[in-house]
């Protein structure tokens, strides 16, 4: 597994780099022997150090976690504990859904994802045709849309700690969305589903 360790406005020394690489390889070998790569990014937020971990445990399967601490080691250990807990919780489910690297669905389409800064912030924003302020797009990227079952999509949403995931339902081919609800549970949007119409009551005979 290839591991990259970088810092944003933080000097990442060799000792910290070796610590992160060794810990991630141990976790990956324990739960997924075929892990592809891992990325560790340290950044400073106020008086704390933030650590963002991303581990590709299979082609198309991303596991992500975050952690904070008074120093980079504490931040990494916090994120590492969360990612190991997530991997441990889902290892059996991954096997049960036959999501091994050789049987992963291939991307059918791609979608463009944009990140925008809210227009209400006191920053320069673009204007629409009516002169009204609108959010400024600060980043764009393409992401694959996979053919997945609902349970597989929910699993990937949880593993990658995403707020929402667009996928194509392998049962009937329409685009669906799974998302994180405010209560922590996962919701599912399927335009293909049709709720049964309530039956009309028969008019009383006279």
More confident residue, 190 or 205: 190
Cα 123 from Cα 78, distance rounded (Å): 34
Q: In which residue are the tokens 């891992």 written?
A: 38
Q: What is d(CA 18, CA 60) in angstroms, rounded to the nearest whole number?
A: 26
Q: Say which CATH architecture domain 105-189 belongs to.
A: 2-Layer Sandwich (3.30)
Listed in sequence order, the residues at least 6 apart from 32 whose beta carbon sits closer than 8 Å to its beta carbon are 57, 58, 87, 91
Fold of 2-101: Double Stranded RNA Binding Domain (3.30.160)
Is residue 79 within 8 Å of 117, Cβ to Cβ?
A: no
Residues 31-70 have pLDDT tens digits of: 877 778 899 999 998 889 999 999 887 766 788 899 999 9
The answer to whether residue 89 scores a pLDDT higher than 90 is no
Residues of the chain with CATH 3.30.160.100: 2-101
DSSP strand pairing (164-169 vs 136-148): parallel
In order of 17, 69, 93, 127, the CA distances from 98 in angstroms are 34, 37, 9, 48
Residues 137-174 have pLDDT tens digits of 544 556 678 888 888 888 888 888 788 889 899 888 88
State yes or no: pLDDT of 103 exceeds 50.
Answer: no
The residues of the chain that CATH labels 3.30.505.50 are 105-189
pTM here is 0.60
| Res 111 pLDDT > 70 | no
Q: What is the pLDDT of residue 99?
A: 45
- Among residues of the chain, what percentage have pLDDT more than 90? 22
**Which pLDDT score, from 0 to 100, does residue 133 have?**
57
Task: State what percent of residues in the chain have pLDDT above 70.
Answer: 67
Residue 7 has pLDDT above 90, yes or no: yes
């Amino acid at each position: 597994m290839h591991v990259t360790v970088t810092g944003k406005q933080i000097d990442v020394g060799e000792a910290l780099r070796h610590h992160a690489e060794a810990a991630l390889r141990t976790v990956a070998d324990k739960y997924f022997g075929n892990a592809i790569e891992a990325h560790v990014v340290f950044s400073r937020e106020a008086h704390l150090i933030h650590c963002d971990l991303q581990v590709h445990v299979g082609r198309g399967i991303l596991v992500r976690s975050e952690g904070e601490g008074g120093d980079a080691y504490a931040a990494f250990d916090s994120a590492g504990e969360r990612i190991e807990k997530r991997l441990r919780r889902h290892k059996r489910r991954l096997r049960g859904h036959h999501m091994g690297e050789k049987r992963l669905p291939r991307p059918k389409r791609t979608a463009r994802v944009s990140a925008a800064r809210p227009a209400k912030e006191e920053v320069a924003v673009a204007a629409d045709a009516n002169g009204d302020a609108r959010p400024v797009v600060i980043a764009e990227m393409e992401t694959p849309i996979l053919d997945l079952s609902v349970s597989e999509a929910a699993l990937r949403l949880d593993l990658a700690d995403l707020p929402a995931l667009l996928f194509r339902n392998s049962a009937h081919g329409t685009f669906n969305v799974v998302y994180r609800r405010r209560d922590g549970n996962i919701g599912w949007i399927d335009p293909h589903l049709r709720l049964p119409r309530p039956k009309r009551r028969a008019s009383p005979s006279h």
